[in-house]
Structure 1
Amino acid sequence: MKRGLAILSLLTLAACGADGEPVKPTASSTITMSSSGVSVGTAVGLRRGPFSLALGVGG
């Protein structure tokens, strides 16, 4: 949990635009229903040029 919060903090800092224009973060979530139950997944990411960084939970 602490590691996830640390990574999310770094992503937020990177998105603030300290080194140029602000980078708008992306977010997505999925809900999957199957015969074994329901699962939920969420991801937050950043994209700048050819580079992409994402952090996901669940699935």
Structure 2
Amino acid sequence: MRYLAILSILILTACGVDGEPERPERAAPVAGLSISGTAEIGISGSL
């Protein structure tokens, strides 16, 4: 139990060592060609 308490304290003290979290910058969309949609292939029929 003692080792679990020490391990918990060590893990909690490691949080935020490098400072507050920073929001990543938004990547600019790349200009160019974009294609979207669906395609279906199959066989249909009745007997």
TM-score category, normalised to shorter length: 0.3 to 0.5
Rg larger for: 2
TM-score, with structure 2 as normaliser: 0.36
Higher RCO, 1 vs 2 (CA within 8 Å, ≥6 residues apart): 1
